[in-house]
């Protein structure tokens, strides 16, 4: 049985923190390369800067937790981390391949629910599809901000 160490770095938590910092940096870099100007003061890059800042704060929190004494080495659920990574790859891949925002976000919701232990795949696919569709319609129709479109989104 692992006993908490009084000192040292909790590696699983630190690895997740470093990953969050890396994603924050990529998001910030991507926001800097946006060239869409806004007529009303807040550009399309504002949300990306917010997300990047939030991810960096989460990364800092993970690093602080990794340095805290008393964590045991067996406290990381690498299966859940793998499902979350698969969810992010599913979203990014769907957008990159031109499948669209709705299918990618549906995968994101479904795989993230699985990472948290939920096993209702079909129900999660339906819930994810409804949520992703509502988000897409809100951004594209109400806010007039374009999200990545695929065949499904073109039906709207």
What are the DSSP calls for 56-106, one per residue?
HHHHHHHHHHHHSTT--GGG--HHHHHHHHHHHHHHHHHHHTT--HHHHHH
Q: How confident is the model at residue 105 (pLDDT cuts 50, 70, 90)?
A: very high
Would you say 105 and 128 are in contact if contact means Cβ atoms under 8 Å apart? yes
Q: How confident is the model at residue 1 (pLDDT cuts 50, 70, 90)?
A: very low
* Dist. CA 9–CA 11, nearest whole Å: 6
Domain ranges of the chain: 1-75, 77-156
pTM: 0.63
Position 36 scores a pLDDT of 64
What tens digit of pLDDT does each residue of 69-100 get? Answer: 776 666 668 888 899 999 989 998 898 888 99
48: nearest Cα among 142, 145, 127, 129:
145
């Amino acid at each position: 049985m692992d006993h908490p160490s009084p000192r040292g770095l909790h590696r699983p938590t630190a690895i997740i923190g470093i990953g969050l910092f890396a994603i924050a940096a990529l998001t910030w870099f991507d926001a800097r390369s946006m060239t869409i100007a806004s007529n009303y003061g807040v550009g399309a890059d504002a949300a990306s800067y917010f997300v990047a800042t939030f991810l960096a704060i989460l990364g800092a929190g993970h690093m602080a937790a990794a340095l805290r004494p008393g964590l045991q080495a067996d406290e990381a659920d690498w299966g859940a981390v793998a499902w979350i990574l698969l969810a992010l790859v599913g979203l990014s891949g769907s957008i990159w391949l031109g499948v669209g925002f709705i299918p990618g976000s549906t995968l994101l919701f479904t795989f993230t629910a699985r990472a948290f232990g939920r096993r209702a795949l079909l129900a999660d696919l339906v819930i994810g599809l409804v949520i992703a569709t509502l988000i897409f319609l809100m951004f594209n129709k109400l806010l007039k901000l374009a999200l990545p479109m695929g065949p499904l989104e073109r039906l709207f």
